[in-house]
Amino acid sequence: METARRRGKRRRLLANRSWRAVPALLVVMLPSHAFPRVSVGRALPAAAGHRNVFSAARNPVLSSPSYPWAMCMPHSIDLKAYLQRIGYDAPVAPDVSTLRALAVAHVAAIPFENLSPLLGVPVELTPEAVERKLVHAHRGGYCFEQNLLFAEALRAVGFEVSGLIARVLWKRAEDAITPHTHMLLRIELAGESWLADVGFGGQTLTGALRLRPGIEQPTPHEPFRLLMVDGDWRMQSMVHGQWQSMYRFDLRRTWPVDYAVANYYVSTWPESSFVNNLVVSRTTADRRLNLRNHEFSVRRMDREPERRTLRDGAQIRQVLEREFLLHLPQHPRLDAVLDALPE
């Protein structure tokens, strides 16, 4: 049994423990709301001059709806509204043809876009927030929002879905070490594993791939394939006759807090491309539309891209509404931000 003297000594040690012992990388990279809420009978005491980040009284974010574990809370997506949003009116069932058809319809209707990070608006990943933004507000989103919404819709249809996380290699060296900043989905169907990804922007997968390495798999657009390299899976697509790696990943389970940390990083880090550039994409049956700041391109299959430089924020707004079918947010800084985009 622990004596009173030893208990007192342990309390004094805890009281004198400094948060400076926490690695600086975690302090910088990990938002306060990424820490799990724990109940141990008493909050850990903070050292003098240091805020106790585990105290809900001192950190209200721990009790807010944006807390990462809210991503796990039960939520019933409005499947009818989602199917209307993507323009899908055929019967749905947990089979391969439905999986592929929903993915194609999704990327044609809901554009990839990063207006929220660009405007400094927090990107919420709770199912309710994602559905509200992408379905009911007719906005788009980036990979976490897109694939979280798609996963909810697939589950409502009856699919067994889990999330994975990847390191992006697109337009980087094959051996580049990049952070986990991309989400994709794994679907179990009739004893076989499939992959879906409606959130990779201008080169996003249309349809679904069998989780099998080394075979070329057709899609409504370019061929794709999966490779195994040094124990990691690698997603590749055929671009101008050459295989290009998009990202690498493994099959370990990914938790909501992993997405929360990655989402916080890419949407707030001052050097993040999503904080400094406008990136928008939409993929229709016969073309891929892409906008990066002032550069708008339309790439039809087996043709060179058609490119156009947009003169100002007014032209950018017009393309966002007409080509990407976006209902733009009512944000007081939107016009100024679009006018100030880098050339």
Query: Where in the sequence numbering do the catalytic residues fall?
Result: 143, 182, 197
Q: Please name the residue that has the structure tokens 């931000």.
A: 337
308, 339, 341 from 311: Cα distances, Å: 9, 9, 11
Instruction: Find the Cα–Cα–Cα–Cα dihedral 107, 108, 109, 114, rounded to 10°.
Output: 50
Q: What is the DSSP letter of 332?
A: T
Cα–Cα nearest to 317, from 300, 298, 330, 299: 330
Element (H, E) at 295: strand 295-300
Hey, what amino acid is at 321? E
Report, in angstroms and rounded to the nearest whole number, the Rg of the chain calculated over CA atoms: 22
* Distant-in-sequence, close-in-space partners of 251: CB < 8 Å, separation ≥ 6: 164, 186, 233
The structure tokens 């039809």 sit at 300
